[in-house]
Structure 1
Amino acid sequence: MYASLQDCVNDLEKSGQLLRIKSPLDPNLEIAEVHRRIFESGGPAILFEKVIGSPFRGLSNIYGTFERTDWLFRKTLKKVQKVTELKADPANFLKNPTRYLSTPFTALSALPTKALFSKPAMYGQTTIDQLPLIKSWPMDGGAFVTMPQVMSLPPGCRNMMQSNLGMYRIQLTGNDYKTNEEIGLHYQLHRGIGVHHKEYLKSNEPFRVSVFVGGPPSHAFSAIMPMPEGLSELTFAGMLAGRRFRYAFDDMGHAVSTDADFVITGTIDKKRQMPEGPFGDHLGYYSLTHDFPVMKVDRVYHRKDAIWHFSIVGRPPMEDSSFGYLIHKLVKALTPGEFPGLRSINAVDASGVHPLLLAVGGERYMPFRERVPEEIITIGNRILGSGQTSLAKFLFIAADDDDPKLDSDNIEHFFYHFLQRVDWTRDLHFQTKTTIDTLDYSGSGWNAGSKVLIACRGEVKRELAKEISSDLTLPKGYNDAHVALPGILALQAPKFTSQENATEEMEILSNNLKGQNLEKFPLVLVVDDSKFTSATLNNYLWVAYTRANPSHDIYGVDSYVEHKHWGCLGSLIIDARIKPHHAPELVQDPTVTKKVDKLFSKGGELYKFK
């Protein structure tokens, strides 16, 4: 559909979906502030024509709304969906052959092709310090590439079908990196580049890596697509672009995406790591400084009139929320094959994706038995044992035979259904001392924490309260009770000081609540700001599930342990207060905010987006 990012820009402008900003803007926080405001207003894609300190233009917010994301891929999305439908069930072709007549032609675009003559990405060369060095948040360790397509190949291999293309953030400046010579490469658990890295550590070959920026919009999206291991993201990039992925190798042996706007080539130092970060990340907090691989820069290629494609991440929803939306549309047909019995799953964007999963599964066996959770526990364990879904902390899974219309995407209704039926003596299943998302600092260590699978099935057990009884009494220090959602009570508590003190505080609270009629409030949240937590659905989802480690922060009224199974007879309590070991919340720089205000004030270039 698009042969280049410039083609996309032209198309966006022609349809009235592009804003050109002509004022010179500072890549140090100022551009990020402008992006956030325009995104929050539901505004268009943004072309920053004058990035201070760089000869190159910058482009962001092209995926800024779900509608625009669909529009970008309007000519190919349905074709790719048909391919996934056939992959999920080849018999679909026999059932409806006319629907899938074009599918073989779509599949042809999946095959990468070597560029023999035209190599636009290699038009010229520049240096790291000439790139638009976008810094998003005040405590960021430097400038980062936020829409990178990082390519690696196994040792001794030039077969692009064995390549890995991933969106692993790249730190361009700051910390101890030598300017123009070294950059940081951050990748996490369950990422394909880690497999290659391990292979190179056993090999004498240099670990060459290429970082692509820009190119057709499908390329950036493909870099975050959760492809099955062993299947290249380039196949998906080609199908979604309607154009085969074009590549070449330079004289140093580096892979080059010839349709990209920029290509940074280099070699990973096998013998050392360097401090990378902090970085304001998509959970709404900073990911902190840790040692990660360092890449020695060889060359920085660029197109003629290249455009630096970037985004700004932070507390969701943000522009990258569209990635989750599109992934869900494309893999929906594949879900039953990957997780037999699963009807729907929602990696909740407002909670930062990995902290919270909602799911609906089928109880297909032994229909003559009492309706209790059985198969959905198996489904839940498979979810928590598979790839990136294994990074979830909280998984709520309900049975579809309780309500065939139940949909995990309808979050409020899902919680209403769930809390009406949940049995805290039976439905909680913990995994302790395990791995969680690298970016989640609510656990017991870096990449370390716990999970809880809550599997619910059966008749309605209770009605849920929407108002708080006037006779509710709370222990000293607890106040300002609010209803976050029907059946969910948010209590404002004293500041968290230590785990030992928290255990005592929760025991006092549990004993206090035990003597009160809270049957209609099966879930109690202990938070720093109950009014904020209860103000919106998104606030509840963010606070409750990004600030709690199940093994440490779940308590209960009349809790007990029986044969290693933990449960409670009364309300479940989640301590979702900020803890001392948590990463700082993202907060904008007031000086920059004040400066940007002028652009959005009357007479300013961006006044209409105020």
Structure 2
Amino acid sequence: MTYRNLSSCLIDLERNGHLIRIDTEVDARLELAAIQRRAFRAKAPAMLFTRVKGCRFPMVANLYGTRDRIRFIFRDTLRAVEGIFRLKIDPFDLFRHPQRYLGVPRSLWGMMPRTVRRGPVLECRTTVRELPQLVSWPMDGGGYVTLPQVYTESPDRPGFMHSNMGMYRVQLTGDHYEPDREVGLHYQIHRGIGYHHAEALRRGEPLRVNIFVGGPPAMTVAAVMPLPEGIAEVLFAGALGGFRIPMIRRAGGLPILAEADFCISGTIAPHQKPEGPFGDHLGYYSLAHDFPVLRVDAVHHRRDAVWPFTTVGRPPQEDTVFGEFIHELTAALVPQVFAGVHEVHAVDAAGVHPLLLAVGSERYVPYAGERQPQELITCGMALLGNTQTSLSKYVIIGAREDDHDLSAHDIPAFFTHMLERTDFSRDLHFITRTTIDTLDYTGISLNQGSKVVWAAAGSRRRDLADTLPETLTLPDGFGSPRLFHKGIVVLRGPRHTARRDEHDPAMERLAQSLDDVRGLSGVPLFVVVDDADFTAADWDNFLWVTFTRSDPATDLYGVGASTHCKHWGCRGPLIVDARLKSFHAPALETDPEVERRVDALAAPGGPLHGYL
């Protein structure tokens, strides 16, 4: 079944047990977000809230909360979309297995949007303040749209073929915005809307923007799809939806999604205003920074409009399922996009962009007596130079030739493989003073920090210890060492007090102290944290703390470290400073009173009992 709008999807989900209605009044400020996060963790059905405090529009949560539900929503088109990707890899498979591709022609036909003169979205008008004002975390700066489809077209080449649609966060209300006249538009670096904005600025024209909320589920998924530059998201939506997406084309304006539930139309103003704070998907707040402002011309909605929403925070959250679904569709394309790379894993537990694990080939000098990373370094640099993998901070890549069973998705085994083979005097390759993810506060400024490619190839160099070395001693201020995993020591460090963009003398003191300790060859990685017990509790905690709280150039130290011809390395263990820094954004914490209210809703006799 294909869903041409959100309401048909909700009706079908409810009919098939994938959605429940909640008629109890709930609050869009913090309460709904707390419910949604619990619903996701419990793998609960989607939830339609029919009575939202102070708002006349119903809201729906957890719509994409499980992979099974996403596959159910796209059950009639998914095989055809998978066939399109498979044909890109091997066009001749069509002749070998024609039965696999029966739905492909229809999907290809559905890719081009259909221009119409009217649609349900234009039935009614409202104002920004009357829209649902979702506040997900206590320090959020206002109400936000969390599942937006932000649509723009190239000013130089207007039309669907050169359009962009992304899920860029939208702040509806806040102290800095004129009520009903302005909304904040936060888009990060390496986003397609930025190219359109640059064209508009060069031409001296305002950039027109339409923000759709709701509508065909295929449009929501397309908005988060990391498509190559030059492939319009609205085309992919047509293939995934199984029909030509109807778009209303009006003279002098951008196309409007005919079946959207809501549409905010406007132009980007020539000035910026502070946007934020916002509790983001790394598990910390994005603080207030100047971002573009959208001058609102109109807010339209259909008569039966429903406002879909999600919340983000420390992974896993609902956006984790989006990532898994995208990986499922595109994993086979990786070798096509990155020559020599067999598998990539943007690690969700580490916030996606901070950590990318990869398996590549090492074939440059097959006759060498001692194999070392060469092709792997090329692969790592390619990953940092293309598509969304270019936002990665740590790229850790191993060679398939060393272990044909090596998988970037088996994280414990992958780290064991790397630590057994790495020569830290040779195998770390830094890029400093470069662009990093806008949401990452570990760098030297907003959008600026460092990256590292850690590549290892060849035979095993060491046996990893499975107990703490008896000889381990630590300087004052450091303690509570834990052997988290074979070869990995987690320990508590003193509170960070250094300034941004400088090394910490306390960490250098630790490295010097460890240089005097014998028997550390089996523990090549030390991670210094604020809470050793929390970090060492499980892999999710370890990955989140280690890679969201460190900048490679600033926060990597080493025993016996040296720099030779601008190449940094160390002959002893590598040390990662993964403490919260004095300049980091605060981590997300829930409101205890709100959590108690949700507890009551989930208690026996409550409307959410049995679901949360």
TM-score of the aligned structures, taking structure 1 as reference length: 0.97
Structure 2 match to 1:587: 589
Residue deviations 1:410-461, cap 9 Å, x none? Answer: 1111111111111111110000111100000001100000011001001112
Q: Secondary structure at the match of 1:185?
A: strand
1:565 aligned onto 2:567: yes
Q: How many residues were matched structurally?
A: 608
1:42 aligned onto 2:43: yes
Structure 2 match to 1:490: 490
Structure 2 match to 1:14: 15
Instruction: Tell me which amino acid in the other structure corresponds to 2:6.
Output: L
Structure 2 match to 1:312: 311
Please report how far the alpha carbon of residue 408 of structure 1 lies from its aligned counterpart in structure 2 after TM superposition. 0.8
Structure 2 match to 1:345: 344
Greater mean alpha carbon deviation, residues 301-310 or residues 198-207: 198-207
Structure 2 match to 1:458: 458
Q: Secondary structure at the match of 1:294?
A: strand
Structure 1 match to 2:58: 57
Instruction: Tell me which amino acid in the other structure corresponds to 2:338.
Output: F
Please report how far the alpha carbon of residue 501 of structure 1 lies from its aligned counterpart in structure 2 after TM superposition. 9.0
Structure 1 match to 2:271: 272
CA contact (8 A) 2:77 2:103 kept: no
**Partner Cα distance (1:519, 1:509) in 2:** 17
Q: Secondary structure at the match of 1:440?
A: coil
Q: Secondary structure at the match of 2:536?
A: helix
Greater mean alpha carbon deviation, residues 363-372 or residues 22-31: 363-372
CA contact (8 A) 2:120 2:258 kept: yes
Instruction: Tell me which amino acid in the other structure corresponds to 2:272.
Output: Q
CA contact (8 A) 1:276 1:289 kept: yes
Residue deviations 1:47-79, cap 9 Å, x none? Answer: 111111111110111111222222222221221
Structure 1 match to 2:548: 546
Please report how far the alpha carbon of residue 94 of structure 1 lies from its aligned counterpart in structure 2 after TM superposition. 3.8
Structure 2 match to 1:513: 514
Distance 1:453 1:303, change over 3 A: same
Please report how far the alpha carbon of residue 4 of structure 1 lies from its aligned counterpart in structure 2 after TM superposition. 1.1
Structure 2 match to 1:536: 538
1:284 aligned onto 2:283: yes
Write out the 4+ residue segments of structure 1 that deviate beyond 6 Å after TM superposition: none
Structure 2 match to 1:412: 412
Please report how far the alpha carbon of residue 268 of structure 1 lies from its aligned counterpart in structure 2 after TM superposition. 1.1
Residue deviations 1:131-163, cap 9 Å, x none? Answer: 111000111110010000000112265521221
Q: Which residues of 2 match residues 23-102 of structure 1 at below 5 A? A: 23-102=24-103
Please report how far the alpha carbon of residue 252 of structure 1 lies from its aligned counterpart in structure 2 after TM superposition. 5.4
Q: Secondary structure at the match of 1:419?
A: helix
Please report how far the alpha carbon of residue 206 of structure 1 lies from its aligned counterpart in structure 2 after TM superposition. 3.5
Please report how far the alpha carbon of residue 209 of structure 1 lies from its aligned counterpart in structure 2 after TM superposition. 0.6
Instruction: Tell me which amino acid in the other structure corresponds to 1:291.
Output: D
Please report how far the alpha carbon of residue 91 of structure 1 lies from its aligned counterpart in structure 2 after TM superposition. 3.2
CA contact (8 A) 2:152 2:254 kept: no
Greater mean alpha carbon deviation, residues 342-351 or residues 79-88: 79-88
Q: Secondary structure at the match of 1:377?
A: helix
Greater mean alpha carbon deviation, residues 71-80 or residues 93-102: 93-102
**Partner Cα distance (1:218, 1:174) in 2:** 31
Structure 2 match to 1:367: 366
Q: Secondary structure at the match of 1:401?
A: helix
**Partner Cα distance (2:416, 2:70) in 1:** 31
**Partner Cα distance (2:423, 2:392) in 1:** 21
Greater mean alpha carbon deviation, residues 255-264 or residues 9-18: 9-18
Instruction: Tell me which amino acid in the other structure corresponds to 2:607.
Output: E
**Partner Cα distance (1:513, 1:472) in 2:** 8
Q: Secondary structure at the match of 1:322?
A: helix
Q: Secondary structure at the match of 1:398?
A: strand
**Partner Cα distance (2:494, 2:38) in 1:** 33
CA contact (8 A) 2:469 2:519 kept: no
**Partner Cα distance (1:297, 1:405) in 2:** 54
**Partner Cα distance (2:485, 2:73) in 1:** 36
Instruction: Tell me which amino acid in the other structure corresponds to 1:534.
Output: A
CA contact (8 A) 1:175 1:276 kept: no
Residue deviations 1:490-529, cap 9 Å, x none? Answer: 0011101115996321222122222231211111000000
Instruction: Tell me which amino acid in the other structure corresponds to 2:542.
Output: Y
Q: Secondary structure at the match of 1:525?
A: strand
Q: Which residues of 2 match residues 120-199 of structure 1 at below 5 A? A: 120-155=120-155, 158-199=158-199
Instruction: Tell me which amino acid in the other structure corresponds to 2:553.
Output: S
**Partner Cα distance (1:212, 1:168) in 2:** 11
**Partner Cα distance (1:147, 1:208) in 2:** 20
Instruction: Tell me which amino acid in the other structure corresponds to 1:597.
Output: D
**Partner Cα distance (1:78, 1:418) in 2:** 36
Distance 1:258 1:282, change over 3 A: same
Greater mean alpha carbon deviation, residues 200-209 or residues 301-310: 200-209
Unmatched runs of 5 consecutive residues or more in structure 1: none
**Partner Cα distance (1:306, 1:200) in 2:** 32
Please report how far the alpha carbon of residue 84 of structure 1 lies from its aligned counterpart in structure 2 after TM superposition. 1.1
Q: Secondary structure at the match of 1:519?
A: coil
**Partner Cα distance (1:366, 1:427) in 2:** 17
Residue deviations 1:68-100, cap 9 Å, x none? Answer: 222222221221111012123323334434433
Residue deviations 1:263-285, cap 9 Å, x none? Answer: 1111111x211111111000000
Structure 2 match to 1:424: 424
**Partner Cα distance (1:81, 1:250) in 2:** 34
CA contact (8 A) 2:222 2:233 kept: yes
CA contact (8 A) 1:391 1:437 kept: yes
CA contact (8 A) 1:522 1:572 kept: yes
Q: Secondary structure at the match of 2:381?
A: helix
**Partner Cα distance (2:587, 2:302) in 1:** 37
**Partner Cα distance (1:163, 1:6) in 2:** 26
* Paired-residue identity, %: 49
**Partner Cα distance (1:290, 1:379) in 2:** 34
**Partner Cα distance (2:251, 2:51) in 1:** 33
Greater mean alpha carbon deviation, residues 36-45 or residues 568-577: 36-45
Structure 1 match to 2:578: 576
CA contact (8 A) 2:43 2:66 kept: yes
Please report how far the alpha carbon of residue 483 of structure 1 lies from its aligned counterpart in structure 2 after TM superposition. 2.2
Instruction: Tell me which amino acid in the other structure corresponds to 1:375.
Output: E
Instruction: Tell me which amino acid in the other structure corresponds to 1:318.
Output: Q
**Partner Cα distance (1:485, 1:179) in 2:** 53
CA contact (8 A) 1:256 1:263 kept: yes
Instruction: Tell me which amino acid in the other structure corresponds to 2:336.
Output: G
Distance 1:203 1:398, change over 3 A: same
Q: Secondary structure at the match of 1:300?
A: strand
CA contact (8 A) 2:315 2:350 kept: yes
Instruction: Tell me which amino acid in the other structure corresponds to 2:405.
Output: K
Instruction: Tell me which amino acid in the other structure corresponds to 2:498.
Output: S
1:216 aligned onto 2:212: no
Structure 2 match to 1:226: 226
Please report how far the alpha carbon of residue 176 of structure 1 lies from its aligned counterpart in structure 2 after TM superposition. 1.3
Q: Secondary structure at the match of 1:451?
A: strand
**Partner Cα distance (2:250, 2:351) in 1:** 38
Instruction: Tell me which amino acid in the other structure corresponds to 2:294.
Output: M
Unmatched runs of 5 consecutive residues or more in structure 2: none
